[in-house]
Structure 1
């Protein structure tokens, strides 16, 4: 498994540098509230994505995924690994706007407007919709679809229903590809959010770590303990690889 990662394109430094420059870092709670308000009023189809350590490793190995993530209209910093990267680069990391915490606050901004949720499968998709409808946006109307359709099915559904917010819960890199297709297909303003595991989290499929672990940036350790076989490659192999690349990128910039 490690050999596959090490065969990643030699272009990874350029890809990382470009995405680092693209990531929007929010420094204060006030700035975060202003960002939420801004995102809730898109002027056109607008893709919001998140970059974490796994995303950085993935884009190093995949040029199409890099292109999809780089094409997002906005990318936010997600996770303690990315904070470490920015600190090594001598840049303030800003607030940790991980999708699991940020997206529910974003959904609240769309209360009373139409919302689409595409991703995962039932019963988790239905449970997530119930959380949206009961706790986050009770005045909204909803449309949903599981995460295993052809991309054309999502664009057709979005064109027919015209939601103002679309939350994708398909994981990388599929959701970024779907997001790009939705943006190209839609003509009315719409915020398209690459939500990763958000639907599974809210639907009860994947538990959250205790708050103390989240505050210490150790939620990845909790997830690894819950799903060791599925997440071994992402965390046990991926985290050291990410840190190694972060150090090398920082050293290259200083040199």
Structure 2
């Protein structure tokens, strides 16, 4: 039985990268559809107010900790996680898996030039046979059903959705049964990283939990408010949960 913990009322799976890949590989092989999602500090904060996003996340089949902040929070709360499973790293591993197993991938998200560049790069390394199809991530509400049909018709084995939260989670939760894809994964801004539009932090910053700061340095005008408020709220919620737990223990003694 897979172990799960709860942080800020959200379930998080206690899984390593390798265990996550094995679960996904088994699912695709057995044609048992599953949806994967990652949570970071910002998403956990958004989930406290956005109930539709909350329901979309908790209904997912695999929920990994994407940010080091979530791993640290789990440790503080006495619910340790084995490691961070970053969405962009998992995506890269699954593309390699797809190449080895002859699976096809549909890429959905980003602006047109970004998703085209991601597809071009993967074609150049793994060949055209890995691509089931692709589409940019800009659409109107009345186009959603047609997009879901397009993905289903592609007969993809894997779907990567590079759209921001909560749009990504809500779309997937609404249409996942109609997509007919064995494995579905929201990858956030990973397309921008893979296309070279956004630089990823050095490894030491990733391990130190400073990836958010590297991102801020690239776009300070757009990111400062997000990180100031969400990071502060995340710390508040984690400490609140910690003190509530300590109070409950004290009362029980």
> If the length of structure 1 is used for normalisation, what is the TM-score?
0.85
Q: What is the CA-CA distance between 1:159 and the residue it aligns to?
A: 2.1
| Aligned residue in 1 for 2:250 | none
Give the direction of change, closer, same or farther, for the CA distance of 1:136–1:249 in structure 2 (3 Å limit): farther
| Aligned residue in 1 for 2:25 | 37
Q: Secondary structure of 2:107's match?
A: strand
Q: Secondary structure of 2:171's match?
A: helix
Give the paired residue count. 237
| Aligned residue in 2 for 1:242 | 234
Contact 2:7 2:74 in 1 (8 A): no
Q: Secondary structure of 2:43's match?
A: helix
Give the direction of change, closer, same or farther, for the CA distance of 1:138–1:253 in structure 2 (3 Å limit): farther
- How far apart in 2 are the matches of 1:216 and 1:156? 42
- How far apart in 2 are the matches of 1:136 and 1:225? 33
Give the direction of change, closer, same or farther, for the CA distance of 1:24–1:140 in structure 2 (3 Å limit): same
Give the direction of change, closer, same or farther, for the CA distance of 1:30–1:199 in structure 2 (3 Å limit): closer
Q: What is the CA-CA distance between 1:131 and the residue it aligns to?
A: 2.5
Structure 1: gaps (5+ residues): 1-14
Q: RMSD across aligned C-alpha pairs, in angstroms?
A: 2.0
Task: Name which of 198, 208, 226 aligns with 1:206.
Answer: 198
Task: Name which of 156, 181, 203 aligns with 2:174.
Answer: 181
1:82 has 2:75 as partner: no
| 1:220-251 CA-partner distances (Å, limit 9, x unpaired) | 00000111122122212211210111011111
- How far apart in 1 are the matches of 2:84 and 2:153? 35
> If the length of structure 2 is used for normalisation, what is the TM-score?
0.86
| Aligned residue in 2 for 1:151 | 144
- How far apart in 1 are the matches of 2:84 and 2:181? 27
Contact 2:118 2:194 in 1 (8 A): yes
Task: Name which of 184, 187, 200 aligns with 1:195.
Answer: 187
Give the direction of change, closer, same or farther, for the CA distance of 1:45–1:33 in structure 2 (3 Å limit): closer
